[in-house]
Structure 1
Amino acid sequence: MDAELRTEPAVAVRGLKKRRNLYVWGTLFILPEVILFLIFLWVPIVKGIFYSFYTVDFVGGNHFTGLANYVSVLKDDLLLTSIKNTLLYIGLGIVIGFWVPPLVAIAVSELRWFQGAARIVSYLPSAVPAIVLYGMWMWFFDAVGPINSFLQSLSLPQLSFFSPHLAMPSIVFMETWQSFGSATLIYIAAIVSIPKDWYEAAEIDCASVWQRIRFITLPSIKTLMLLLLLLQVITTSQGFQAQLSMTDGGPNNATLTYLLWLNHTAFRDLDFGKASAMGSLMFFVLILLSVAYNIMQRRSERT
């Protein structure tokens, strides 16, 4: 009996040492990734917030200016224009592009044959390089491009895709075509994970395709849709690459998004202090969006 009592603490100590060694080795394995994460993500963020309080001068040196950069951003006439264009870009992305991936994923999942080929075809636009994408769609949108040539053959009026009213919808349509494939594969993976017994029971009860989608598929992927919606809002709020490559913010600042204005401020006007202030403001807004999403997710899980 005494021998058993003496061996129990020894076994407990060995188990504690084993768990501690596992934690130590696990920490050592992830330490390089954590260091790289800090160096290439958080250090630039902290330095950007730091420089937002300075006038950045690579020749004469930096000078502390307090909140002057933030005041300059808030007083700039382009602030409201860029925010309006960014909100328009986000809204068009949701109205035009957000619903395409789940609809395509549901349509593909309902196919009886050629599901693999449909998945490959839906993903192909995502494999097009950006420089090829922009050049191709600038040709499509050209006044003598294939779209206007087709409209002309039908005796329909031509469209000026780069006019102030159509420039932003044209860019959103192009990006929807290019990026819906990746999100479609994510939705397909979520739909495949739904138990097949539910669909079989629905078919036994003579449920139609729309009823299966409405009462089984959509409720099952609702959380994923909310997550991808938040990610799309964050991504589109930082959009500037297509606007820079295709219109450079024009015509008449119709496609000047907030991040494109930031890019112009930093690399065209060389006002890095003001650009850092703009980036800091955007960083805090995106944090608020993430917090709001977490609150919504917790409430939905409770209900």
Structure 2
Amino acid sequence: METDVFPRQAVLTSQARKKLNWYLWGTLFVLPELILFFIFLWVPIFKGIVYSFYSIDFVDGNQFIGLENYLNIAQDDLLFTSIKNTLYYMALGILLGFWIPPLVAIAVTELKYFQGAARIIGYLPSAVPAIVLYGMWLWFFDAVGPINSLLESIGFTKVDFFSSQMSMISIVLLETWQSFGAATLIYIAAIVSIPKDLYEAAEIDGASIWRRIRHITLPSIKTLMVLLLLLQLITTSQGFQAQLSMTDGGPNNATLTYLLWINHTAFRDLDFGKASAMGSLMFFVLILLSIVYNLLQRRGDKA
């Protein structure tokens, strides 16, 4: 009996050493990336939280002021305006842009011919560089641009795409055009992975294409739609690039989102302490959204 125990212990020890070596080498390969990730992401985040309690002055030095920056944020009239615009921007992104990728993906997967070409054409807007994108859509939305020229030629009046009522809608339209292709490919991959036996059985039972979409396709991608919805909410809550490039928050602060307000506070007003406090508040809100996203993603993986 004792002679059998020693070989088993030797085998277990050897396996433990191999696993330890495997984890060690894996950690060594990932370590440089973890170090860079910590230095360039988490260190600035921690410094931003610390600086939110200071009055930042590069000449006379920083001065600790406690919660004064947070009180200034609460008393600023732009707080309500920026939050309202951000929520409006997020809602428009859902109403105008969220439903397009799944609808396009379903339409593409139902095509019998030219599916590959449709996927390439749909993804092309995502490959347009941002500076080209904004310049192109500034021309599209111009008073004498192609859209207004077309509307005028068919008897409609011109649209002021940069008015207080239309500016945010215009930004959502251009961003939907630019980003729907990548989301469409994700939906196509999910739809293609649905077992074909379900569709074949539905066709044998005489189900129409609308019934197949309603009872097979949509329930199968429901979890993915929820995850992408939450991811879109996280992304749009940080929107500022298009607002900065197209309207700079105008007209009359109609497109001033919360993150754009942070940008203006830091680099236009040079109030880095207040901007750090604003960023810290947004950081904690995004952490909560990320936790919800991860919980939903795990639930989707289990399902």
Which TM-score tier does this pair reach, normalised by the shorter chain?
over 0.9
**After the TM superposition, which parts of structure 1 deviate over 4 Å for at least 4 consecutive aligned residues?**
294-303
Deviation of the 1:54 alpha carbon: 0.6
Q: Which moved more, 1:14-23 or 1:266-275?
A: 14-23
Q: Match of 2:252, SS? A: coil
Q: Match of 1:159, SS? A: coil
Match of 1:258 in 2: 258
Deviation of the 1:4 alpha carbon: 2.7
Match of 1:14 in 2: 14
Deviation of the 1:208 alpha carbon: 1.1
Deviation of the 1:290 alpha carbon: 2.5
Match of 2:68 in 1: 68
CA distance in 1, matches of 2:2, 2:129: 73
Q: Match of 1:58, SS? A: coil
2:215 maps to a residue whose letter is F
2:34 matches 1:50: no
CA distance in 2, matches of 1:5, 1:85: 71
Match of 1:92 in 2: 92
Q: Match of 2:155, SS? A: coil
List gaps (5 residues or longer) in structure 2: none
Q: Match of 1:142, SS? A: coil
Pairing of 1:1-303 with structure 2 (within 5 A): 2-294=2-294
Give CA-to-partner distance per residue, 1:70-102, whole Å, 9 cap, x none: 111111000000001000000000000001111
Q: Match of 1:23, SS? A: helix
CA distance in 2, matches of 1:5, 1:265: 71
Q: Is the 8 A contact 2:90 2:233 kept in 1?
A: yes
Instruction: Give the root-mean-square deviation of aligned CA atoms.
Output: 1.6
Deviation of the 1:64 alpha carbon: 0.6
CA distance in 1, matches of 2:298, 2:25: 33
Q: Which moved more, 1:288-297 or 1:270-279?
A: 288-297
Deviation of the 1:2 alpha carbon: 4.4
Give CA-to-partner distance per residue, 1:115-161, whole Å, 9 cap, x none: 00000000011111111111111111111111111111112111111
Deviation of the 1:5 alpha carbon: 2.9
Say if 1:267 and 1:198 are closer, same or farther in 2 by CA, change over 3 A: same
Deviation of the 1:191 alpha carbon: 1.0
Q: Match of 2:74, SS? A: helix
Deviation of the 1:292 alpha carbon: 3.4
List gaps (5 residues or longer) in structure 1: none
User: Sequence identity, in percent?
Assistant: 74
Residue-pair matches, total: 303
Scaled by the length of structure 1, what TM-score is found?
A: 0.96
Deviation of the 1:227 alpha carbon: 1.1
CA distance in 2, matches of 1:297, 1:117: 31
1:135 maps to a residue whose letter is G
CA distance in 2, matches of 1:202, 1:155: 47
CA distance in 2, matches of 1:29, 1:298: 27
